[in-house]
């Protein structure tokens, strides 16, 4: 499994789908394909994973995504905080998402609200 080293996720990070990634969605799930790798296989994101993917609009930062999911699934923010951050880090390690406005991996280490995870 392809994984790259990435810096910790910040609450202030704003995310976009990586440019070489194709994805399609329906009511139940999102299927993602990394077009840049010969050995890539399609990955399915379901439930909250699908909701997070669809929230990566280049506008909402990590904190806003957590707030949005907290409201959508009616669960306390504290219960999903870690899960969302871990998921974003995993997507980034797989090269499926990028930081908005940051060209090249780990080009900067921006400050943010709250703790780094």
Choices 60-68, 70-78, 89-97, 99-107; region in contact with other proteins by CB under 8 A:
89-97
The binder of other proteins chosen from 22, 75, 107, 115 (CB under 8 A): 22
* 30 bridge partner residues: 25, 45
CA nearest 64: which of 115, 18, 12? 12
The answer to whether the CB of 97 falls within 8 A of the CB of 6 is no
Shortest distance (Å) from residue 111 CB to other proteins = 27
Token pair listed for 25: 């969605």
Residues in the site for other proteins, rule: CB under 8 A? 17, 20-24, 26, 31-33, 35, 38-39, 41-45, 47-49, 52, 83, 87, 90-91, 94, 96
């Amino acid at each position: 499994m392809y994984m790259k080293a990435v810096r910790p996720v910040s609450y202030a990070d704003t995310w976009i789908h990586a440019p070489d990634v194709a994805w399609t969605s329906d009511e139940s799930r999102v299927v993602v394909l990394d077009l840049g790798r010969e050995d890539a296989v399609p990955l399915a994101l379901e439930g909250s994973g699908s909701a997070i993917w669809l929230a990566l609009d280049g506008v909402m930062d990590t904190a806003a995504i957590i707030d949005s999911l907290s409201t959508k699934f009616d669960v306390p923010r504290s219960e999903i905080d870690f899960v969302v951050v871990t998921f974003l880090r995993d997507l980034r390690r797989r090269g499926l998402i990028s930081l908005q406005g940051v060209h090249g991996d780990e080009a900067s280490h921006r400050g943010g609200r709250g703790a780094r995870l």
